Amino acid sequence: MSPAYPKKRFSQNFIIDKNIARQIVGYLDIRDNDIAFEIGTGRGGLTEIILETGAMVYSFELDKTLLPELEKKFTGCDNVKIINKDFLTVNPEDYCTGTFKLIGNIPYDITSPLIGWIVEHRGPIERAVMTVQRELGERIAAGPGSKDWAPISIFTQLFFDIRIGRTVAPTAFYPPPKVFSSVLIFEPKDKYQINDFKFFENLVRAAFIHRRKMLVNNLAEAGIADKALAAEALERLGRGANVRAEALAIEEFIRLADMLKKVNNS
């Protein structure tokens, strides 16, 4: 068996449907003077399509057993560098000083850490296209009032507009995963001003501790604010004291955090 076979410890599912691969790359809107970072080269299914555009590609692959096949496949290609490195440890400035576009088929177990990486390094990201498990993709792209609205939705949408490009069937990959996937498109935005991000983050996470409980109870349990103060702040937002976290939009969470932070500082 070739050492380039998919390995369970890396949660590898190689894309084999070239039409879908081409569509995924198309969402990135890549041009010949662009720089692209690819998360997980795999067997090069997306890489070879990106290279057709003339863009410079930095493709990061953690599985070193794939490297000989990849080096052979891309021999003579001056606009690609295959780098044996865990992408979550990558500092973009080590590879480019300007902007870049980001693409990858992402295993479930690193999706949340990767969202954290994208948010942390958002400045130079022009656009990102991520293929993730459908359930998690729907959560990231969800809006307020949805059962999928969650902290990961909020922290991502603070900095990016998110839309689902398409759903991908398991048969597009080898080996086929047990679930469908969603292709997420991230467009950067600079819309929200948060005065104390750590307090805001703690409040949002506390708000969703128990989804079925009222928001005031969750905030009180986490020590963010007692029930009376939280209820008063929600009334000022035009919400009743019995509202649940999933009902609040990002703007409301920001205002709520500002009000409760002022009370805590007084």
Which domains are seen in the chain, by residue range?
Answer: 8-188 (3.40.50.150), 197-265 (1.10.8.100)
How far CA 130 is from CA of 82, 228, 241, 251, in Å, comes to 19, 42, 38, 26
Q: What is the pLDDT at residue 263?
A: 78
184-223 pLDDT, tens digit each = 999 999 999 999 999 999 999 999 999 999 999 999 999 9
Q: Supply the pLDDT for residue 1.
A: 41
Q: Hey, what are 261's tokens?
A: 């932070």
Write the single-letter amino acid at 158: L
Residue ranges of the chain whose pLDDT lies below 70:
1-11, 265-266
- Rounded-to-integer distance, Cα 106 and Cα 112, Å: 10
* pTM of the predicted structure, to 2 decimals: 0.92
Burial class (CB in 10 A: 0-12, 13-18, 19+), 228: exposed
Selection from 183, 184, 181 nearest residue 133 by Cα: 181
Residue pLDDT, tens place only, 88-103:
999 999 999 999 999 9
